[in-house]
Structure 1
C-alpha cells in the first residue's frame, strides 16, 4: 500500500513539468558535439592552431562544429583572432589549468530555438557556442568544460549576417551560460556581442506585433470578422480550452484525493475493530436446544436473602 504522502508527491510530480528538462537537453547536445568535434582532429600528429571542421549526426543536419587545438600559454599571450565568429583576446585564462586546450565551436543553425527557446523573442541570428576542453585525451567523451574567462578584454562575437528586420525592432544580444542562466546585453556596431566567458550566444528581437495600419471602416468586413479578429478568436479559444482542461484536471485530482482519504480512513477503522476484537475476552457458550448461544459467567458472590440476616 502506497502511503498517502507518497501518493500526493507522485501526483504533483506528474502534473508539474520539470523546469530543467530544456537545460538537460542542451547539455546533452554539448556532450554529443564535443565527441564529434574531437573526432575531426587527426590522431597522428595533430596540428596546433589549425581549425578542423567536424561532422554531426544525421539527425542534427544544419548544425556545424569545429575544433581548435591551442597551447594555453600561447592563447594567454596572443589570443586568437578569427575563430569563426569569435575573436579571442589575449589574457584568456582557464580553470583548472591545462597544457593544451581544444576550443569547440558550435553553430546550431535552424536548431537554435529548439535547444535554446526564448518565449517572447525571435532569433535573427543562429545560436553559436564556444566551449573549452582539456586536450590531454583526444578520444575522451563526455568531458567537463574548462572555465574559460577573459578578465582583461572581452571576447567578441561578430555575426556576419542577420535576418532582415522591419522598422521598430531593436535587436539585442542573448547569452546562455552552462548552468541554465540567460542574460541580455546591447549590440556593438549593429552585429557584435561581447562576453567575458564561454557559452552560447545569439541575437534576438522582442516578439511584438507591429502597429496595425489605419484602414477605412467597412461594416461588412467588420461583421464578417477579418484575419485579425479570427486570430483573436483563435487565441481566445486556445485560452478557454486550456482553462477548461486545467479545471478538469484539478477536479480529477481532488476526487482522487478524497477517495484516497476515505479509503485510508476505512482501512484504519477496520484495523482498529480487528485489534479490539482480538484483545476482548470471549464469552462462554451454552447449548440451548440445537443452538449454541453465549452466556454470562457465574457471579463470584453468592446471593443472600434478607431473611437470613434476621436472627
Structure 2
C-alpha cells in the first residue's frame, strides 16, 4: 500500500484529533449536565409501579410511606388506597393535601390509589420555571384506578378527576423566604402532563395553595440575580463557545497541514516508483545520498581497419 510508509503521520494526526476533541467533548457534557432536567412524568410512573410492588396487598384506608432507592434520596412518597364511594363522601386529608369530598374519578373505579410526593431537595432537578425560583419543595398528587380489571386495561395511567365542590388544598410546611418575598410569591401548578403551568395566589400566613386538578405544586418568587452573577454566567458561556471555536479552528489547521504532508510524501513516492519502473539504472551512494547511475558502454570502439602506422 502507498500509505504504509506513512503510519507515523497518520498516528500523529489521530492523536492530535484525540487531544483536541476529547477535552471539548468533556466540556460539552459538563455544560449540558448543568442544565439537565429529569422527566417528572417518567418519575410519576416509576413511583406508582414501585409503590404497588412495595405494598403487595394494601389495606383500604391505610397510608403507607414508601422508601425509594438511594438515588432518590430526599424524595418522600406515600400511598393510600381508598374506595371511590368513601372518597366522594368524606374526601381525604393525608400528607400535604386536603382532598375535599364530592370528588369523582373518571373512568369510574371501585377503588383508587392516591400517590403523594414531596420532591424535597430534588425539586430543581425535575422542574424549572424561567425567571422564577422555588421557595418551597414541589409536591405531587396523582390518582390511579385500582380495580383489577381497570389496572389490566389502564396500567400506569392516571384517572381524570372532577371536583363538584371545594378545591384541593395544598399545605406547604417548609417555605424559605427572604424579607421581600412575601409580596411577590405565587403558587405554581404543573398540570398532569407536565407542560401546563398556572400561577395563582398564596394564602398566608399558613402558606396554602388551591388546586382543582391533580399534578405538581409549589411556591415560587421572581428570580433576582445580582448583576455580578449574570455577568459571570455570560462570561462562562462566552468562554465555552470560544474554547469550542478555537479548538475546532486549531484542529482544522493541524488536519490541513498533516494532510498536505501526507499528500506530498505520497507524490514523491509515486515519482520515485515511476522512475524506477521506467529505466533500469544502477544505484550508487555518494556520501549519504542514493543516486541513479548509468552502466558502462555496451560496445567498445573499434578501428575501421587493423592498419597501425
Higher relative contact order (CA 8 A, sep 6+): 2
Matched, 1:130 2:141: yes
> Match of 1:156?
169
For 2:145 and 2:204, the matched residues in 1 are separated by: 34
Kindly tell me: are residues 236 and 70 of structure 1, through their superposed partners in 2, closer, same or farther at Cα, counting changes over 3 Å? closer
> Match of 2:71?
59
> Match of 2:95?
84
Contact 1:150/1:196 (8 A) holds in 2:
yes
Kindly tell me: are residues 57 and 142 of structure 1, through their superposed partners in 2, closer, same or farther at Cα, counting changes over 3 Å? farther
SS at match of 2:52: helix
SS at match of 1:188: coil
Contact 2:137/2:174 (8 A) holds in 1:
no
The CA RMSD measured in Å over matched residues stands at 3.1
* 1:241-299 superposed Cα distances (whole Å, 9 cap, x missing partner): 46768999xx9xxxxxxxxxxxxxxxxxxxxxxxxxxxxxxxxxxxxxxxxxxxxxxxx
> Match of 1:143?
156
* 1:95-140 superposed Cα distances (whole Å, 9 cap, x missing partner): 1111100101111111111111223211111111110111124998
Shift of 1:236: 4.1
Shift of 1:240: 3.7
* 1:78-103 superposed Cα distances (whole Å, 9 cap, x missing partner): 111x2111001011011111110010
For 1:147 and 1:232, the matched residues in 2 are separated by: 42
Unpaired segments ≥5 residues, structure 1: 1-16, 211-227, 252-311
> Match of 1:295?
none
For 1:201 and 1:192, the matched residues in 2 are separated by: 10
Matched, 1:34 2:34: no
For 2:225 and 2:187, the matched residues in 1 are separated by: 20
How many residues were matched structurally? Answer: 211
**TM-score when scaled to structure 2?**
0.60
> Match of 1:183?
198
Among candidates 151, 162, 173, match of residue 187 of structure 2: 173
Unpaired segments ≥5 residues, structure 2: 1-31, 250-309
Matches within 5 A, 1:240-279: 240-241=238-239
**TM-score when scaled to structure 1?**
0.60
The structure where helix makes up a greater share of residues is: 2
SS at match of 2:133: strand
Matches within 5 A, 1:205-244: 205-209=221-225, 231=229, 233-238=231-236, 240-241=238-239
